[in-house]
Structure 1
Amino acid sequence: MSTPGKPTAKAEARALAQRERILTAAQKCFVVHGFHAASMANIADTAGMSAGLIYRYFKGKNDIILAIIERQLEEARADIAKLHATSDLVSGIAEVFQQWQANDPNITSAALFLELTAEATRDEEIAAATHASDRVFRSDLAAWFARSAKDGGLGIPKAAVDTRVLILQCLIEGLAMRAISQPDLDVEQVKTALDQFLPSLLTA
């Protein structure tokens, strides 16, 4: 029996599904139009619902952007949690690069990453959320680098962890840019480059 005034599990699941539908539509609109040109009406049309319904879940575009940042962090943390000492990071990064090239809607696109980065230079609230998300992401990566191999980590000496994390982030973010500026880049060439570089970065 449900508690009066408390949403049922079915209602909560429906609300979550509606939020995800809105966020997915918003991501598409932000990539196509940019944050400022994309309107709530655009998002509503893409989501196949009324703008009024969207306002039941989000106060406005900034709320949607903040929710997207939060969702991206959750996805990134889940990916890091799956990493272990024997993870094939070369294949994993190459696969993401291909998804960026194909504008795969199931992952954060390279274009959306650039939109968020640019918007963080103009909006203090989004900047704060972006910086906070980045700190958590770096912390999770650093924990993986520092953990011993027997615990699923890389066993990187503590003094070298922050530098290695920075290099890996710059590499991945650079590939996101490369997916946009060089969309015809052969993924095998990316793999070759990663094979030459990553082992020294990931070895204690």
Structure 2
Amino acid sequence: MREGLMTKNLPPTQGQNTATASQHAALSDKESRSEARRNQILQAATDCFCAHGFHGASMSAISKMARMSPGHVYHYFDSKEAIIEAIVDRDLQQFYELSENLLQVDDLLDCMMAQLHVEEALQVTSCNPLIMVEMSAEASRNARVAAKLHHTDQLVRQRFRQLFFGTTAVSEAERLQQEARVEVICLIFDGVMVRGIHNPSTAREPLRAVLGQVLHLLLKDTSVTTPT
């Protein structure tokens, strides 16, 4: 009775705000647990894809690796394609976060080289090169995966162009030159990971030095050249 009177005598919204805050805290906790489970599934799927390939990694194997029931996994993802899409979205979000940091620096090239972890990219056991190859292979025969990768690649190239060249309007020739430079930079970053599969013993520091020289040419020498 006393508790009821105390609540009743509070200012009009105070009791409501207390209840709302409690509800928000419970909702936030539930969302955090859900996000943790999603990440647990994505990590398990990544490990399975790297170990067995996309087709060899069944939803049952993924659920076992994640230590969840198949029904629990299907609650979050209705298919392996949905899992791949979530992995791509996660990587894209990480790329955006990195690019936001790069937008704030004075020397873009130095910051890029600091972020270019050659050792990690060439280390096949990290699974990064393998999962990229698996996704690319699946895209060649799976329209849903191909559409996702194509759209994500477009977003990445747009962000790279903004990062390297800004948003100032340029001529058509300059635009094509910028897009070509961005494409070469994407080729470099993708290639570093794939080369880790074909030639994992390559010397890291000389490679890093040469990459720095190439990126310097692509980013610093912005003059437009046209075929003769």
Equivalent in the alignment of 2:150: 131
TM-score, length basis structure 1: 0.85
Give distance in 1, aligned partners of 2:33 and 2:181: 42
Give distance in 2, aligned partners of 1:137 and 1:101: 21
Equivalent in the alignment of 2:198: 181
Verify: 1:199 aligned to 2:222, yes or no.
Answer: no
Partner residue of 2:183 out of 153, 166, 182: 166
- Counterpart code for 1:185: T
Give distance in 1, aligned partners of 2:208 and 2:199: 15
User: Deviation at 1:100?
Assistant: 2.6
- Counterpart code for 1:54: V
User: Deviation at 1:159?
Assistant: 4.9
Partner residue of 1:57 out of 76, 80, 90: 76
Give distance in 1, aligned partners of 2:121 and 2:211: 17
1:1-204 paired onto structure 2 within 5 Å:
1=19, 8-83=27-102, 84-87=105-108, 88=110, 89-93=112-116, 95=117, 97-103=118-124, 105=126, 109-147=128-166, 158-203=175-220, 204=222
TM-score, length basis structure 2: 0.77
Please list the CA deviations of residues 146-199 of structure 1 after superposition, one character each: whole Å capped at 9, or x if unmatched: 128xxxxxxxx6453111101101111111111111111111121121133221
- Closer/same/farther in 2, CA of residues 50 and 192 from structure 1, 3 Å limit: same
Give distance in 1, aligned partners of 2:114 and 2:93: 22
User: Deviation at 1:121?
Assistant: 0.8
RMSD of the alignment, in Å? Answer: 2.1
Q: Figure out how many residues of one structure are paired with residues of the other and give that number.
A: 190
- Closer/same/farther in 2, CA of residues 65 and 39 from structure 1, 3 Å limit: same
Q: Between the two proteins, what is the percent identity of the paired residues?
A: 30
Per residue, is there more helix in 1 or in 2?
2
- Closer/same/farther in 2, CA of residues 135 and 39 from structure 1, 3 Å limit: same
Runs of 4 or more above 4 Å deviation: none
Q: Could you tell me whether the CA contact under 8 Å between 2:122 and 2:195 is conserved in 1?
A: no
Give distance in 2, aligned partners of 1:51 and 1:160: 49
Question: Quick check: 74-83 or 24-33, which moved more?
Answer: 74-83
User: Deviation at 1:145?
Assistant: 1.3
Equivalent in the alignment of 1:152: none
Please list the CA deviations of residues 111-130 of structure 1 after superposition, one character each: whole Å capped at 9, or x if unmatched: 11111111111111111111
Structure 2 residue runs without a partner (length 5+): 1-18, 168-173, 223-228
Please list the CA deviations of residues 37-64 of structure 1 after superposition, one character each: whole Å capped at 9, or x if unmatched: 1011211121122212111111121111
Q: Could you tell me whether the CA contact under 8 Å between 2:161 and 2:182 is conserved in 1?
A: yes
Q: Could you tell me whether the CA contact under 8 Å between 2:77 and 2:83 is conserved in 1?
A: yes
Q: Which of the pair has more CA radius of gyration?
A: 2
Q: Could you tell me whether the CA contact under 8 Å between 1:91 and 1:191 is conserved in 2?
A: no
